[in-house]
Amino acid sequence: MIRIATEHLSEIKRDAEAVYPHECCGLLIGRFEHDGRTRVVLKINPVKNSWPLEERQARMLISPADYLRAEKEFSAEGLGVVGDYHSHPNHPAVPSRFDLEHAAWPTLSYIVVSVIDGRACELRSWEIAPDGSRFKEEEIVKGTRLCR
């Protein structure tokens, strides 16, 4: 399960619309609760899509350096990377096989937002199945504001 403020979901959608027709990407910053079963998002950290420009309409890459920088930057606040997000221009908010093969960690949440003709539509969150073979959809618990 992922807990995320409504404002953060809106921020993700705005990022996706701003970089359309390319895929956007970013990190979900927060903390793990309930023995890691719940990811609580407290900040959104958009990052540059590191994939070559000519292929960004169908691919995204968050560099390892961006993950490391975020972990270092937010650790002073007791926070870390609990997931990432990216957009699917003119495709459903369902992770691809490529997404599964390049997912960073099985403990993270992966938000995918569908952007159709420049407008963010569907947004869904996914986690990797325990055997690593597929993504399974996870519940999104929304709120207007989350406390630390």
Q: Is pLDDT larger for residue 130 or for residue 69?
A: 69
What pLDDT was estimated at residue 105? 80
Domains, the chain, ordered by start: 2-142 (3.40.140.10)
| Per-residue pLDDT tens over the stretch 14-45 | 999 999 999 999 999 999 999 888 999 999 99
Q: What is the pLDDT of residue 114?
A: 98
Helices (H) and strands (E) in the chain, counts: 3, 8
In this structure, what token pair is assigned to residue 2? 């992922």
pLDDT at 66: 96
